[in-house]
Structure 1
Amino acid sequence: MKIKAILLILCFIYINFSSLAQQQKTYCNPMDIDYKYNFEQLNDSISYRSGADPVIINHKGEYYLFVTISGGWWHSKDLVNWRYIVPDKWPMEDMCAPAALSVRDTLYLFQSTFEQRPIFYSLEPEKGKLLFYNRWLPRLPPLIGPWDPALFYDEDTDRWFMYWGSSNTFPIFGAELDKNRRLTYKNKDDYRGLIYLDPKNHGWERFGRNHRDTIRPFTEGAWMTKHKGKYFLQYGAPGTEYNVYANGTYVSDDPLEGFKYAPYNPISYKPGGFMTGAGHGNTFQDNFGNYWNTGTPWIAVNWNFERRIAMFPAGFDKDNQMFANTRFGDFPHYLPTQKWENKDELFTGWMLLSYRKPVTATSVKDTFHTEKLTDENPRTFWVAKQNKSGEELVMDLKEVFEVKAIQMNYTDYKSNIYDNDPEKVYTQFKLYTSLDGKNWNLVRDLTQEPKKDRPCAYIELEKPMKARYVKYEHIYVASPNLAISDFRVFGNGSGKVPQTPKKLTVRRDTDERNAFIAWEKVPNAVGYNILWGIAKDKLYQTYQIWNDEPNTLELRALTVGQKYYFAIEAFNEHGVSKVSEIVGER
């Protein structure tokens, strides 16, 4: 009887968890996956969770996510619930920046390497089944690669290609593969340099935070997408360890020659907000035909290359211009249920309620105070005196809002975790809401769900809750320290949205890579989105600025000789203003 009772309880928990998962209609960057402890700096005894260089593949109507040095991959049927898979065999070493490709019933996989390595394939990737497709690709000259590879199959011509490169010396290379020789190089000496960075003319390709460093920039993360007969060869630049990491593209009528710089670059750029950096990812289509662009946001708490994963709606406009939409890119978005028509229609309109709101804690360690929980900066964090069950955080939203989602972002502060044992590495907590700070409503309890590590846990409430206070009750994390960088709350208020900002001015610098932007602040704004692009109907770029920052921006991401247009909008807890009149530079 006891065994039957236990089975019934487990069945109830699983059904309850499945029901919650099925009800989730939104996602929020950074992606809510069980990021793995990553030992790129093992010799320095640094322990931290990280994810980088994502490739999401739509294979037979389901999705597979491959990430640098993760010991396996993730599988999803809906782009929100991801199951980690450990393969039955693994290459000679864990994969860094892997290439993945789906062609008919086969998924192909290849690792970054400077040595001789095989291409793998799988007919059952959901089961972790890997087989050798070929034994070795012939070795290229030293330092050439293929590092950060991408595999591409051209259905129209039945030809196979590989693109690769990760360097501030060498370009992005391309080569044709010989299908008849089991995807080896058709001619291993016939690889070509295709993309060379040009920071003297392309402002966004300059290195450093906000493109202010003189170090020679890096290019990496090749990816190929063919759309309406054009080949879009994408690349990441100028360096993964800064807020301006972005994806760009060159375009050609041929897969191996004639590539021209797209005047609207970068195509995916997110230098402001909570999750900054959008470079080194891939472009894929979901089951409704919508395009997505993935990228690698920057964390850099334990090491400069500590990162997370993000995905943004993307597409091609009527002129076949490629873009990725990072506007409110780390706020909740709807998962598509059909092909979208407007680039902004997946944005839920759920606003950030937590920015600079006060938080009280049951304990604080050293100088890691609670104001760091609501500053929208993943590199600052609160630490409890002890990592023990029962530690609490209570946020005062200062007025009653309709709370719809909560995101908890953990930090690996002085972590000593050196494996990814799921019996030890998992996350558990409870969330509550209240109108008065005394009577609490439990809105999510992770102890009632299967154990899973969720360092960027995104919780969509089953139903919106009217609340002034939101409480986090800690249960378990594996790290010796309970450290949280950001306690983010989303929803809507019933007050007035901010007015449209006025007096937007844009002055192009004598160095045409830069523009000086200014505007007049408006009352009750939380922040602003500066929108810009190469035409009045192509304002695809967004730079987010907080209201407590200066009302000026030096934008250093422009292309010499290219004209641009600009607009601005303001937002607060209640919504978004109308977009301002579009202005040109002067």
Structure 2
Amino acid sequence: MATLSALLPALLLGAVARDTRISDPGLCWTVPCPYDKNRCLPRATSKQRFVINIGHQTRELTYPIISTSFADNIVPEIIWWQYEALPLTRELLAYAFPTARLYFGTTDAPRCLKRRSFRPQGTRGTFTAATGKAFRALVWRRCGISSRPPSAPLRVRIIDRPRGGGGSKNPCRLPGPHVGGRSLSNATIAALRSHLPAALRSAGAAEAPLEVVRLPERPDSLCDQVRRYAEADVLISPHGAHLVHIPQLSPSAVFIEAAAVAETSFASRMRKPQFMALSSTRDTAQSHAFGRRPAHPVTRAAKPRARRPPDERSGKTEEQCGREGGTVRGCLYAAMNCFEIAVAVGRAAAAAPTFCNPIDLPYRFQPTTGESFREGADPTMVVFGGRYLLFLSKNGGYYASNDLVRWSLIVPTGAPDRRFRRHVRDSSTTFDDYAPTVMQMEGRLFFTASHSRALYTTDDPFKGEWREVATLPSYADPALFLDDDGRVYLAYGSHQTWGPTGGGNASHVVELDPARGWREVSHHSAVAFADAARNGWEVSGNGNDDYRLAPYVEGPWITKVGDVYFLQYASPGTQFFTYSDGFFVAKSLRDLGHSHHSKYSAVSPFSAKPTGFMRGAGHGSIFRGLDGGLWHVTIAVIARHIRRLVINPVHVQGEWMNADTRPDWQLLSLHKPATASSTSGANAPSRAFDEDIRTCWSAETGAAGEWLAVDLGANATAYAVQLNFAEVGAKQTGRLPLRDACRYYCEASADGVRWAVVPELDRREGGRDSPHDYVALLQPLSLRHLRVTSAHTPAGAAFGLSDLRIFGTTAAVKPPARVGAPRVTRDSADARRASVAWDAAARAEWYVVRFGERGAPGQFHSYQVYGGATSLETRALSAGVEYDFVVDAFNEGGRTVGTPTAPRLAQRHP
């Protein structure tokens, strides 16, 4: 059973679904409390009212709350809580609902006629994470908190009451921590300080000092208290009542209630709340997040064998305290075990966040084409005000995020640019242009795009209010860059270099002077150019095999690391799987393009992905994330101009620059047998498990109830699921209304007969447009079968998935054997080409062929090879560069790194 403090935070600050109506709002409940029975709310007059009936199993108490949905801008008239509230809680509710009538505790509640039994005549409300975000945004905005600041090092903070605080008068003698109860003992805090560093180190997290924040006896400013929660990474509280407001005000922190239950979501990088029980007392049960029970049993921290320190004031051990009724009066809960808490903090701090490409944006359906499809391309990412801002082509706005996973759309306001409208047909705003670029300077953002012919600025991009500051020429694929000395440069260029070998000038750099109206004050040509005769990856075609079509050189971007400038460029064309980013390096921007000062990097392309689920990795931008590391956001190709965005970390070592990702789990669903409710044409169920986003399974209709199921063949442990929806036959143009967003739910089974809904994958409520929905599960899920069922299909399309991907581990399959050194033959007639062959490895299901320049710090170029093949031909090499190759073997059980080898030159002709 759940403690009251664990139940109320999520439900009190939650919102009820709008279609939950009460037929008779004049309801009464019997509250079996010896202080005063038969209290209820007066008969209400408003029809905009909802009822939440919270059942608490201990002593058969029922605590009713009435509120309305502020998410839909409906102002509630009454909120009633049958329990004493913290002063901060009262203030927050009054802050969020200034026109509401508030009732707190048994003494505040109005009377109604005494009755022996009452039955609520309403539907239980449902709650979502969006509710907590809406409440938090409301309070943060009023407190002037624009975003949660990144913390380095980790902030571990105890929120405690002053010593000697008295307990609240609780006429119902509720179990659990009292509002005005005990503070932590000095011995407990000292033990925490002692154990926490070791726990963090053992869990792989950085050490962090422990801060103790004593709440004043008289509550200080509401906003000061809110900031205490918003700025911490780890919060420890001895009072469960604090959890009434903490999870909503700082959902990105780890919460540890010393009394019973903790909701954890470390930093902004954790995707979903997790649950951690730190007590063995009878009051510990389960925690609720946003009104939902955890899908799996809570995880209990390991008990140490050492005796716990005694409480300073009572002289009793915490074991004795736990046996004496489960309150904080006189001693601490047994759960206030300093070592358990330190270990829990360490585990939470070390929890690795995950993400899965493509970026799950509500990509807009293009409004001016005859075909209905979504698109997002040519991205620029910046960090401003502690948040990420993502600008991309043809989306009518830009996106903001705290964690690179959840994104909110910002539609700019202001008059449309007439010059721009003349050059881009059927567009009404500069933010609907191709290839946007953004630069931060002096606390402002500056924006331009390919056809905007103007420069815009704002000091608050989250409001979406921009103004024009200068007229510019039309720059194709522009890229603004602010150097360390305050000088501003702009790289640009998107040209096809005619001739089978390229060689034409394509990318240029100009210097702009803000003091002179952003006029050009210098010009540098030929800073990046194609040389397809030397670099095989620049040759056109999905396999770098179309020698008749000249390559494009476009999408320039400038990155400076230390005293080295990297000028990247994209080639051979956005429609090809081989679309990649290469780069030149120089010690000065003025030296770029001059062969004796700058040079083409032999590790180019640093961003390439010609095979696999998402193909293509060109025309991107590099930015520094909130974690201090470099990231690369770029394009992946579905069809010629149907594109998505992907993101990967970037590592720079001297003049070597390469992108790399390391997944923690294996793909469990590849080529597994599948069944479906129906099939449309050749779009068979197997196409949803072939690791190719270009193919899909499609049902005959988009009706609710269409389903797709997969059999993994044996029990496995799933950690994450990604659903990529196909939207075959969509008729939408322009942005998809949220009311039409996809709704679905997933069920898991061990035998294919008995099914259970996976709560994290229950999207029947809708409210978010997620064409590439990636869900990291709260707890590992044991399953063999997974089934996804449609509740609503958007855009008039048939229900379908391009791929349903399940990531996790399995004990049923051992990792594959090691692949020996591959046999590599470099083509002597065309050094851009090489053939690679290897012997099949036992238990291998697919392979990854990696290669890189000999002597470089790794082999970062790669091809994924499926279908049992044991050979590969690549045409992406650069003449005059020697390479090392290695073949890694994969299956559901894991990855086995192969034996590297160096290629040998041999006579072979095409």
Q: TM-score, normalised by structure 1?
A: 0.89
Encode CA deviations 1:207-235: one digit per residue, 9 max, x unaligned.
00110112000111110001121110011
Q: Aligned partners of 1:12, 1:570: CA distance in 2, in Å? A: 41
1:409-488 equivalent positions in 2, closer than 5 A: 409-443=724-758, 444-447=760-763, 451-480=767-796, 481-488=798-805
Q: Does 1:29 align with 2:357?
A: yes
**8 Å CA contact retained: 1:228, 1:320:** no
Match of 1:378 in 2: 693
Q: Aligned partners of 2:876, 2:508: CA distance in 1, in Å? A: 24
Q: Does 1:199 align with 2:532?
A: yes
Over 3 Å counting, the alpha-carbon distance change for 1:568 and 1:477 in structure 2 is same
Secondary structure at the counterpart of residue 867 of structure 2: coil
**8 Å CA contact retained: 1:512, 1:558:** yes
Match of 1:272 in 2: 611
1:98-109 equivalent positions in 2, closer than 5 A: 98-109=436-447
Secondary structure at the counterpart of residue 263 of structure 1: coil
Q: Which residue type is aligned with residue 519 of structure 1? A: W
Over 3 Å counting, the alpha-carbon distance change for 1:544 and 1:439 in structure 2 is farther
Q: Aligned partners of 2:462, 2:354: CA distance in 1, in Å? A: 24
Q: Aligned partners of 2:834, 2:128: CA distance in 1, in Å? A: 58
Encode CA deviations 1:335-355: one digit per residue, 9 max, x unaligned.
xxxxxxxxxxxx342110111
**8 Å CA contact retained: 1:203, 1:514:** yes
Q: Does 1:225 align with 2:559?
A: yes
Q: Which residue type is aligned with residue 892 of structure 2? A: E
Match of 1:14 in 2: 130
Structure showing greater radius of gyration is 2
1:464 positional shift: 0.9
Match of 1:338 in 2: none
Over 3 Å counting, the alpha-carbon distance change for 1:250 and 1:39 in structure 2 is farther
Over 3 Å counting, the alpha-carbon distance change for 1:382 and 1:313 in structure 2 is same
Q: Does 1:110 align with 2:448?
A: yes
Q: Aligned partners of 1:454, 1:547: CA distance in 2, in Å? A: 28
Secondary structure at the counterpart of residue 296 of structure 1: strand
1:28-107 equivalent positions in 2, closer than 5 A: 28-39=356-367, 42=369, 45-89=370-414, 91=417, 92=420, 93=429, 94-107=432-445
Match of 2:681 in 1: 366
Aligned partner of 2:462 among 126, 130, 142: 126
**8 Å CA contact retained: 2:821, 2:898:** no
Higher mean Cα deviation, 254-263 or 503-512? 254-263
Higher mean Cα deviation, 377-386 or 443-452? 443-452
1:147-158 equivalent positions in 2, closer than 5 A: 147-155=476-484, 157-158=485-486
Q: Aligned partners of 1:493, 1:167: CA distance in 2, in Å? A: 49
Match of 1:174 in 2: 509
Over 3 Å counting, the alpha-carbon distance change for 1:585 and 1:65 in structure 2 is farther
Match of 1:355 in 2: 670
Higher relative contact order, chain-length normalized (CA < 8 Å, sep 6+): 1
Aligned partner of 2:891 among 567, 572, 583: 572
Secondary structure at the counterpart of residue 180 of structure 1: helix
Secondary structure at the counterpart of residue 399 of structure 2: strand
Over 3 Å counting, the alpha-carbon distance change for 1:293 and 1:109 in structure 2 is same
**8 Å CA contact retained: 2:821, 2:899:** no
Q: Aligned partners of 2:541, 2:401: CA distance in 1, in Å? A: 35
Q: Aligned partners of 2:767, 2:672: CA distance in 1, in Å? A: 31
**8 Å CA contact retained: 2:524, 2:590:** no
Match of 2:15 in 1: none
**8 Å CA contact retained: 1:422, 1:452:** no
Match of 1:186 in 2: 521
Match of 2:647 in 1: 311
Over 3 Å counting, the alpha-carbon distance change for 1:562 and 1:445 in structure 2 is closer
Q: Does 1:527 align with 2:846?
A: yes
1:61 positional shift: 2.3
Q: Which residue type is aligned with residue 107 of structure 1? A: L
Q: Which residue type is aligned with residue 151 of structure 1? A: L
Aligned partner of 1:508 among 826, 833, 837: 826
Q: Aligned partners of 2:865, 2:588: CA distance in 1, in Å? A: 43
Over 3 Å counting, the alpha-carbon distance change for 1:542 and 1:262 in structure 2 is closer
1:421 positional shift: 4.1
Secondary structure at the counterpart of residue 173 of structure 1: strand
Match of 1:209 in 2: 542
Q: Which residue type is aligned with residue 150 of structure 1? A: A
Encode CA deviations 1:476-519: one digit per residue, 9 max, x unaligned.
23132223211111111123111111241111111111111111
**8 Å CA contact retained: 1:526, 1:546:** no
Gaps of 5+ in 2: 1-24, 26-47, 52-66, 70-124, 134-247, 252-264, 266-270, 275-352, 421-428, 498-504, 906-910
Over 3 Å counting, the alpha-carbon distance change for 1:377 and 1:509 in structure 2 is same
Q: Aligned partners of 2:623, 2:635: CA distance in 1, in Å? A: 15
**Structure with the largest fraction of strand:** 1
1:215-294 equivalent positions in 2, closer than 5 A: 215-257=549-591, 258=594, 259-294=598-633
Encode CA deviations 1:406-428: one digit per residue, 9 max, x unaligned.
11112242321012142444121
Over 3 Å counting, the alpha-carbon distance change for 1:147 and 1:446 in structure 2 is farther
Q: Which residue type is aligned with residue 58 of structure 1? A: V
1:525 positional shift: 1.6
Q: Aligned partners of 2:367, 2:833: CA distance in 1, in Å? A: 38
1:274 positional shift: 0.5
Matched pairs, number: 547
**8 Å CA contact retained: 2:364, 2:736:** no
Encode CA deviations 1:545-583: one digit per residue, 9 max, x unaligned.
334152111111111111111112111111110332343
Match of 2:900 in 1: 581
Q: CA RMSD in A?
A: 2.1
Aligned partner of 2:816 among 498, 504, 517: 498
Over 3 Å counting, the alpha-carbon distance change for 1:70 and 1:310 in structure 2 is same
Q: Aligned partners of 1:308, 1:474: CA distance in 2, in Å? A: 24
**8 Å CA contact retained: 1:66, 1:98:** yes
Q: TM-score, normalised by structure 2?
A: 0.58
Aligned partner of 2:708 among 381, 393, 398: 393
Over 3 Å counting, the alpha-carbon distance change for 1:360 and 1:429 in structure 2 is same
Over 3 Å counting, the alpha-carbon distance change for 1:191 and 1:503 in structure 2 is closer
**8 Å CA contact retained: 2:743, 2:790:** yes
Q: Aligned partners of 2:365, 2:374: CA distance in 1, in Å? A: 4
Q: Aligned partners of 1:61, 1:13: CA distance in 2, in Å? A: 21
**8 Å CA contact retained: 2:845, 2:868:** no
Q: Aligned partners of 2:618, 2:697: CA distance in 1, in Å? A: 28
Over 3 Å counting, the alpha-carbon distance change for 1:542 and 1:401 in structure 2 is farther
Q: Which residue type is aligned with residue 618 of structure 2? A: G
Secondary structure at the counterpart of residue 389 of structure 2: strand
Aligned partner of 1:146 among 460, 475, 488: 475
Over 3 Å counting, the alpha-carbon distance change for 1:165 and 1:12 in structure 2 is closer
Q: Which residue type is aligned with residue 749 of structure 2? A: S
Q: Which residue type is aligned with residue 649 of structure 2? A: P
